[in-house]
Amino acid sequence: MKRSVNSSRSGQAKAIGAPTLLHWRFLLVLSVILLVFIGLGVRAAYIQVVSPDQLIQRGDNRTLRTRNDPVHRGLITDRNGQQLAVSVPVRAIWADPKKIAQGSGFSDKRRWLAFAEVLGQDVDTLIAKVDDPTKRFVYLQRQVSPAMAEYVEQLDLDGIYLRDESRRYYPTGEVSAHVIGFTNVDDQGIEGIEKLYNDWLTGTPGSRQIRRDGKGRQVEILATEEGKQAHNIQLTIDQRIQALAYKELKWAVGFYKATSASAVVTDVRTGEILALVNSPSYNPNNRQGVSAHRIRNRAVTDAYEPGSSVKPLAVLSALEFGSATPKSKINTSPGWMHLGGKIVRDARNYGELDLTDIIRHSSNMGTSKLALSVPKEYLIDMFYNVGLMSDSGANLLGETNGIFNERPRWSDFDIATLSFGYGISVTALQLARMYSILGDGGIKRPLSIVKSDQPPETERVISEQAAQDVLHMMESVLQEGGSARKAAVPGYRVAGKTGTSRKAIANGYGEEYVNIFAGVAPVSNPQLAVVILINEPKGDLYYAGDTAAPVFAKVMAGSLQMLNVAPDNKDVSSLAAVAGGHNAG
């Protein structure tokens, strides 16, 4: 009985021990679960309360986007509103090499071959550009046409994208290229007006910060930032006159086989530049293969000895100083003279000449004697006063002040050669300013190429009477016995002067010439000053009266008619010539 009792007790003890083990397991599992939830709670509290920025940033990276509002470069127009430079929308093709590597890569060879063909690139070279998965952005081609962009979109290549941008277009092409200049692929001005006024023409795009949903749709605008509007520029250029001057200049370069040519047309009353052209020129819309010398604005960068075109300054100096009057006679016999061991000579012996004849015959003897009749400083000051020793005030890119070597001592021969345009080099633009001053009765003002409501500062540098006297004298140059009868404009009184000078070389002068004709019209009420410069004409015609003068006549005649300037030459034969010319046209 005892053994059975013990056995019974022992069996009961084993039955009670099993639930105790299950109880501790339950507590252990429960503890682990509680610890996990506590850990998650602590982590959630840390992320959302203690340090929420990282979570917010990750969320924002998925939902926040910044959109830039497109902004186009400002317009450039002529004085009448004709567009000279505009911005047109284009696309840029770019690639995400990492996206390409993660996607189909280069498995579809046919599409990549078509893509390379439309870009005009070798397919292996193209693939090499986008074969680095560490990169996220690579430009493949900028400023592509809408048709090319549409074709690229249809190819639907992984990692190849398009973005909007703009390209500058110049409707007038080579006619106004030297004035307007051009921009680079990033729409930044690098020549001409485009560079000078780059900040004014360039705007800053506005932006919007938005929130989008999982499907990429905009659901909220969080912030906006206003951009800076691009400004337009209106030039003083009259594109009608610009086109006319370029047409005549281009013809002259070809006909006279010249190296280059320049022309400037100014309004003498305001100093506004109505035309500024050079030939040869270039197409700013396609500059591939264009050499640097074609891009240079020769009318403002290249300086030449002006020759006889500055002889009126010697006459003006004598009139202003009082050493001569309009009726004074100068003895030029025997047609030459020694000055400091050197000789000044005329083409022939003109004998006794009045001031008008000195200009008509372009007498070196006459202008030399007039220049030597005034103090040397007085003559040099006259060159400064008419703007031949300084910039024109137009603030054009690359403009030079010419070349003038001030000397502590001036010999008589130096003064004589200065009086007929040697020993000094000036640009076509500087000459245009000088003749504008003569045309406006001795009033000096800076030239301008950008329209402004502010009147320019003016200064009287020549007496009105002396300026008028010299203009009347220069009329004789285009009349019987003058050196530039081919510069005459039917129906209008024109005053002007030729300038034929040899180009300087080492130790002297060569056989190449520079031909200049500068003039003002109409003399009774001057409106326009025109300068024509032909550089290195070849062939039998190498005097300015045969090359620059005819071009001047066409440019001046067309410009006066375009501006509706009334004829002031009442001579019947002259007006008949005008009528005949219109009928022939």
Positions annotated as catalytic residues are 308
> What's the helix, strand, coil split of the chain in %, to 5?
40, 25, 35
Q: What is the DSSP letter of 486?
A: G
Residues forming a β-bridge with 183 = 189
Question: Rounded CA gap, 311 and 316, in Å?
Answer: 9
Residue among 403, 415, 462 nearest 435 (CA): 462
Cβ 310 vs Cβ 421: under 8 Å: yes
Determine the residue type at 18: A
H helix or E strand, kind and range, residue 79 = none
Strand-pair partners of 266: 273, 529
Instruction: Decide if 112 contacts 106 (C-beta within 8 A).
Output: yes
CA dist., res. 130 & res. 94, Å (int): 10
Cα 267 to Cα 321: distance, rounded to the nearest angstrom: 29
423: left (phi over 0), alpha (psi -120 to 50) or beta: left
Count of Cβ atoms closer than 10 Å to residue 25 Cβ: 9
Helices marked H in 456-570 — which ranges?
464-475, 548-562
In the structure encoding, which two tokens stand for residue 401, read together? 């002040």
Facing residues of 93 across strands? 141, 162
Cβ atoms of 499 and 422 within 8 Å: the answer is no
DSSP conformation class of 324: -
Cis peptide before 284 (omega within 30 of 0): no
Which residues are bridge partners to 514 per DSSP? 501, 535
